[in-house]
């Protein structure tokens, strides 16, 4: 399932009102504690009343609901909105939604309620009631054409007032105040306390509207006690007009209680609202202030890098965040250091992200670690629960908020299980975007659906710290009084308060598809693919160096009783620093540091091995040679370059064969697992030279003991690769340049044309051939790019190596490719095999998994299997395939 994009580049600010005398972000005095349940109240104004000895209880006449209301003269306030009592369409426009919200909530301003005969009412715009004198009718902007024919004339004849709402609620309130004569009166002063309470009235109006729709959706249209609500709210508005702030707050509290009791008539248990605020590492300091202003439960979804950056940019904000976490109304979800391309990375890089993330969280959150895995950017894969559990995470959000494909279940919670059986308690429900006005009109209907269908009614919300929609601010203000629509909880509290599910789900790897390539192309990343391959190479080098270092330390300590010196010549050669450079994208500096570390620790290991021999390093023959080290736990036959070695080395010991090439003396050496082999630098002339063996190079055919390769004369690509003794090729290959347009309804691709094919080496260690040519436009024959493909087969190794070089790429095609979909306009190596029924597997963190999707992603290997054959394409860190 694809989620709506909430990336930093993709979010469009909602239509929120500009600053006005009545500022939507104004708050009451600082609260003392978070709201945990109905009846908790953290508003400072109420605290003042409590300190003065007054009792904060609903007014006594709320209990006596049968007491009739006193007659009241005043205006009648009516909002005319579309989709009244009906679920809005999925494609509802944000501008219309904001206008609807303004129309429905603006009439609840206390300066208007104090002049009203009754509470505002809402009517469908298609079937409004007949207008009457002394009425204010507000219609959602952009919907005048939906009014019945002649209705505007009826309004004028009746002496009523018809106004369009616009999208600025403060401006609409000011316009109505002018019509009612409220401008200039004491209640429109700049007192921050009164302004904050006025915003609370607006929040109550918005909450009332949503509860009305929720009751309708649940089949309980008459759930709200309008008589009790009218009594409390109009009395509160009168108190507000008289600048009696404490009484106004008391009445507001009683009004919210009336609404909560109405919801409990049809859903008497807790529904949960989970508020997710996204933090990005690039955000400036100060972004925490807005979400922390109101003591209502909220969870920050932040990679450790975002926390680290906020700690350096906004120390005061981080102190407030730590205090809020200690008080229990804020938590942090994340898990990894940065939101890197998870499944495209080596396993050790993924582990580093979790390990480094855990260190940073503890450093900046008072030794706390996060308990819930979550990411804004897509980063889901099948083994994630297994890895996350290892680092102490207990819960997960099985969601991505930018793009990508992942499975969604109908249940709100399940146990997400890895292939090894490890599981995380997981929230599966996609959230509403709290920065979009249109999503606010969906709340009641989404709540009704979860109340009807889920064991635990759950509605997540997601947003950036700013901007947020007006409806979101209204709901958070209302939550400081009573949990009318539901209880606001942090992610951790949600998992603790709800039952652990017993149902599991174990998605297969094909259920996930990343958006990384398209995102990198859209961001004009100059190396969206080669950067991944370089990351794999550097990580492999670092892991090999770490094994060499550990082995050198162990052997030296065993032989001499003390480890070798760890001083390395050169700057920034500490292994931890080198690893940080690799994982944070500073590949150039990492490569330089690795060069120094590899040379130093290989030398230390060689000296340690010599010192550990019986008799020490001075024993045995003084014949010069090379120590070839295997840092992997499997025996290997490897090809190495021996700088300065004699060109006529003879096979002896682990040395299988050697020959002189342009790069130096190339040799094939047998190595034990986690071991080493010594190779002489000078030949033992008493030994016979290497036999020709199974290597041969004839015409365009290369062969070793295992693999036979035929190069296509016309294209320079692979005409066929097969095992020795087989009659049918297993696989063929060509280079293509796609995105040239269409012909006969099918996409066009370039043609490969060879100019030459030369045999470079014919043994005894390797055979090598090089083909060169051009990629041409099949319509015109115009050259589009030049290519060189080098093929290598080593003695005793069942691997065909291919090095591809592209040059002279046509600038016009490059420009078009930069502006196009990378999955339709690209340079690629195209492979073909004869059996369409072959099974295709891909490695997922080293584990082979069957795949049937059109774009299997793996940086490891693709395995093509038939009943009797298996052929693997080793990707070398190139992750994207189609």
Q: Which residue has the higher pLDDT, 694 or 292?
A: 292
The DSSP bridge partners found for residue 702 are 697, 709
Structural domain contains residue 641: no
Mean pLDDT of the chain: 86
Long-range pairs, 834-841, Cβ under 8 A, ≥24 = 834/728, 834/729, 834/730, 835/866, 837/866, 838/864, 838/865, 838/866, 839/864, 839/865, 839/866, 840/864, 840/865, 841/865
Q: Are residues 191 and 82 in the same domain?
A: yes
Structural domain contains residue 276: yes
Task: Quote the pTM value.
Answer: 0.86
Given pLDDT bands bounded at 50, 70 and 90, which one contains residue 795? very high
Structural domain contains residue 484: yes
Structural domain contains residue 686: no
Structural domain contains residue 235: yes
Structural domain contains residue 6: no
Q: Are residues 470 and 528 in the same domain?
A: no
The whole-angstrom separation of Cα 552 and Cα 63 is 81
Identify the residue whose tokens are 């999955």. 823
Q: Are residues 181 and 202 in the same domain?
A: yes
Using the 3D structure, point to which of 207, 234, 266 is the last residue of a domain: 266
| pLDDT tens digits, one per residue of 37-49 | 344 443 333 333 3
With beta carbons less than 8 A apart as the criterion, state whether 617 and 605 touch: no
Q: Are residues 482 and 537 in the same domain?
A: no
Given pLDDT bands bounded at 50, 70 and 90, which one contains residue 801? very high
Task: Determine the pLDDT at residue 28.
Answer: 36
Using the 3D structure, point to which of 216, 250, 266 is the last residue of a domain: 266
With beta carbons less than 8 A apart as the criterion, state whether 277 and 503 touch: no
Residue 64 pLDDT > 70, yes or no?
Answer: no
Q: Are residues 221 and 322 in the same domain?
A: no
State how many domains the chain has: 4
The whole-angstrom separation of Cα 47 and Cα 828 is 68
Structural domain contains residue 41: no
Residue 411 pLDDT > 70, yes or no?
Answer: yes
Given pLDDT bands bounded at 50, 70 and 90, which one contains residue 562? low
Task: Determine the pLDDT at residue 188.
Answer: 55
Q: Are residues 257 and 287 in the same domain?
A: no
Given pLDDT bands bounded at 50, 70 and 90, which one contains residue 186? low
Given pLDDT bands bounded at 50, 70 and 90, which one contains residue 607? confident
Q: Are residues 211 and 349 in the same domain?
A: no
Among 68-72, 300-304, 688-692, name the most confident range: 300-304
Given pLDDT bands bounded at 50, 70 and 90, which one contains residue 291? very high
Given pLDDT bands bounded at 50, 70 and 90, which one contains residue 560? low
Range of the domain at 231: 72-266
- Sheet order of strands, 121-124 included: 121-124, 76-81, 135-139, 161-164
Residue 325 pLDDT > 90, yes or no?
Answer: yes
Q: Are residues 483 and 528 in the same domain?
A: no
Using the 3D structure, point to which of 266, 293, 315 is the last residue of a domain: 266
Given pLDDT bands bounded at 50, 70 and 90, which one contains residue 612? confident
The whole-angstrom separation of Cα 137 and Cα 127 is 13
Structural domain contains residue 572: yes
Q: Are residues 420 and 552 in the same domain?
A: no
- Distances 77 to 104, 177, 232 between C-alpha atoms, Å: 10, 12, 17
Q: Are residues 508 and 530 in the same domain?
A: no
Residue 347's CATH number? 3.20.110.10
Given pLDDT bands bounded at 50, 70 and 90, which one contains residue 179? confident
Q: Are residues 182 and 122 in the same domain?
A: yes
The whole-angstrom separation of Cα 576 and Cα 597 is 12
Q: Are residues 246 and 114 in the same domain?
A: yes
């Amino acid at each position: 399932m694809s989620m709506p994009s909430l990336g930093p580049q993709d979010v469009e600010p909602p239509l929120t009102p500009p600053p006005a005398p009545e500022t939507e972000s104004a708050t009451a005095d600082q609260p003392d504690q978070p709201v945990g349940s109905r009846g908790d109240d953290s508003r400072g104004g109420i605290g003042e009343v409590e300190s003065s000895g007054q009792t904060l209880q609903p007014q006594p006449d709320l209990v006596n609901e049968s007491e009739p209301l006193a007659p009241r003269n005043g205006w009648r306030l009516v909002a005319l909105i579309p989709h009244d009592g009906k679920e809005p369409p999925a494609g509802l426009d944000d501008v219309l939604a904001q206008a609807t919200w303004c129309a429905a909530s603006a009439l609840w301003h206390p300066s208007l309620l104090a002049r009203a005969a009754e509470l505002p009412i809402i009517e469908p715009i298609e079937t409004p009631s007949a207008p009457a004198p002394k009425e204010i009718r507000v219609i959602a902007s952009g919907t005048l054409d939906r009014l019945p024919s002649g209705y505007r004339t009826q309004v004028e004849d009746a002496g009523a007032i018809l106004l369009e709402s616009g999208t600025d609620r403060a401006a609409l309130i000011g316009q109505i105040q002018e019509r009612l004569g409220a401008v200039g009166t004491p209640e429109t002063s700049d007192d921050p306390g009164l302004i904050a309470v006025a915003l609370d009235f607006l929040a109550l109006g918005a909450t009332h509207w949503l509860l009305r729709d929720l009751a309708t959706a649940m089949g309980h249209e008459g759930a709200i006690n309008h008589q009790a609500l009218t009594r409390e709210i109009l009395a509160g508005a009168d108190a507000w007009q008289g600048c009696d702030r404490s009484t106004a707050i008391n009445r507001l509290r009683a009004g919210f209680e009336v609404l909560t009791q109405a919801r409990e008539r049809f859903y008497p248990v807790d529904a949960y609202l989970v508020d997710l605020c996204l933090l990005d590492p690039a955000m400036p300091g100060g972004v925490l202030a807005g979400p922390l202003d109101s003591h209502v439960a909220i969870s920050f979804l932040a990679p450790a890098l975002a926390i680290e950056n906020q700690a350096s940019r906004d120390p005061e904000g981080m102190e407030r965040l730590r205090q809020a976490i200690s008080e229990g109304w804020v938590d942090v979800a994340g898990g990894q250091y940065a939101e890197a391309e998870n499944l495209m990375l080596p396993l050790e890089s993924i582990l580093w992200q979790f390990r480094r993330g855990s260190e940073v969280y503890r450093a900046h959150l008072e030794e706390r670690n996060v308990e819930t895995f979550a990411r804004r950017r897509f980063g889901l894969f099948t083994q994630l629960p297994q890895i996350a559990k290892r680092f102490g995470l207990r819960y997960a959000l099985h969601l991505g908020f930018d793009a990508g494909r992942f499975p969604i279940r109908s249940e709100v919670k399940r146990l997400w299980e890895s292939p090894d059986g490890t599981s995380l308690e997981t929230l599966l429900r996609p959230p509403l975007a709290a920065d979009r006005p249109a999503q606010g009109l969906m709340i009641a209907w989404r709540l009704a659906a979860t109340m009807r269908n889920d064991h635990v009614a759950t509605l997540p919300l997601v947003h950036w710290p700013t901007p947020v929609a007006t409806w979101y601010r209204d709901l958070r203000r209302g939550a400081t009084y009573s949990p009318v629509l539901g209880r606001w909880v942090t992610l951790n509290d949600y998992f603790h308060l709800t039952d652990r599910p017993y149902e599991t789900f174990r998605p297969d790897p094909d259920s996930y598809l990343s958006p990384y390539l398209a995102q990198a192309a859209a961001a004009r990343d100059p190396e969206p693919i080669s950067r991944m391959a370089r990351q794999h190479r550097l990580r492999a080098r670092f892991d090999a160096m770490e094994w060499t270092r550990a082995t050198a330390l162990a052997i030296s300590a065993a032989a001499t009783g003390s480890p070798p010196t760890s001083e390395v010549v050169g700057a920034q050669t500490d292994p931890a620093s080198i690893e940080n450079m690799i994982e944070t994208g500073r590949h150039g500096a990492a490569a330089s540091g690795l060069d120094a570390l590899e040379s130093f620790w290989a030398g230390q290991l060689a000296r340690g091995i010599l010192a550990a021999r019986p008799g020490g390093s001075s024993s045995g023959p003084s014949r010069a040679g090379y120590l070839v080290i295997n840092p992997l736990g499997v025996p290997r036959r490897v090809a190495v370059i021996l700088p300065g070695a004699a060109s006529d080395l003879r096979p002896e010991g682990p040395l299988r064969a050697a020959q002189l090439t342009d790069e130096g003396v190339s040799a094939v050496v047998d190595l034990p697992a986690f071991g080493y082999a010594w190779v002489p630098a000078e030949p033992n002339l008493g030994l016979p030279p290497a036999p020709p063996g199974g290597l041969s190079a004839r015409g365009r055919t290369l062969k070793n003991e295992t693999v036979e390769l035929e190069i296509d004369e016309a294209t320079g690509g692979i005409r066929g690769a097969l095992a020795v003794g087989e009659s049918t090729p297993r696989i063929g290959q060509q280079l293509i340049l796609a995105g040239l347009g269409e012909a006969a309804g099918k996409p066009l691709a370039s043609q490969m044309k060879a100019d030459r094919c030369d045999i470079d080496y014919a043994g005894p260690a390797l055979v090598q051939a090089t083909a060169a040519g051009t990629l041409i436009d099949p319509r015109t024959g115009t050259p589009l790019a030049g290519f060189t493909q080098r093929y290598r087969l080593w003695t005793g190794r069942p691997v065909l190596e291919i090095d591809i070089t592209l040059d002279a790429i046509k600038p016009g095609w490059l420009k078009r490719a930069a502006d196009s979909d990378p999955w339709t306009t690209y340079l690629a190596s195209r492979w073909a095999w004869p059996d369409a029924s072959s099974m295709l597997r891909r490695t997922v963190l080293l584990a082979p998994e069957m795949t049937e999707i059109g774009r299997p992603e793996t940086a490891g290997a693709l395995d093509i299997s038939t009943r009797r054959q298996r052929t693997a394409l080793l990707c070398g860190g190139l992750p994207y395939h189609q």
